[in-house]
Amino acid sequence: MKAQLGIKEAETKKIASLLNKVLADEHVLYIKSRNSHWNVQSPDFHSMHAFFEEIYGELEVTIDEVAERIRTIGHFAVGTMAEYLKLTQLKEMQYKGHDAQGYLKELLADFETIIQSLRDHIEDVAENTKDCGTEDFLIGILQRHEARAWMIRSHLA
């Protein structure tokens, strides 16, 4: 059954495309944070291992919320690694070491990339659609990512 949300089909299709790009970015960042969690070697291993677990746990929730938002507006979420890698603006893990600082720097760069694109997506949705629900939804993700980026920067200070 088709969703009747008061938003034109062309708009929901565009929004779903945008959200699938967000979903792809979140998945790539999730995998990178999992890699960091599994492979970190550091004098403060336990705290960094737990910190990376916090990051991927938060991203796991965001991933589910993004996919469900896509379904809420009447479209389908992408769900394969091939699709994620095609849609993402991020690169797979570039850092080849195993120390916490190297992982943190790469994750911070990715969070900041996503933050910047979320701002663009929010502006696009606000100016070109009637979907204030998705606009608000993206603002929530933006705020969580800004807080996470601040925490990572604090580890790097």
pLDDT tens for each residue of 43-81: 999 999 999 999 999 999 999 999 999 999 999 999 999
Residue 153 predicted with pLDDT over 90: yes
Residue 1 predicted with pLDDT over 70: no
From 19, 43, 110, 114, select the one nearest 11 (Cα to Cα). 19
Q: What is the pTM of this model?
A: 0.95
In 1-131, which ranges are continuous DSSP H helix?
A: 9-39, 45-72, 81-87, 100-128
What is d(CA 10, CA 33) in angstroms, rounded to the nearest whole number?
35
Q: What pLDDT is stored for residue 95 in this prediction?
A: 85
Q: What is the pLDDT of residues 7-18, one digit of tens each?
A: 888 899 999 999
Residue 88 predicted with pLDDT over 90: yes
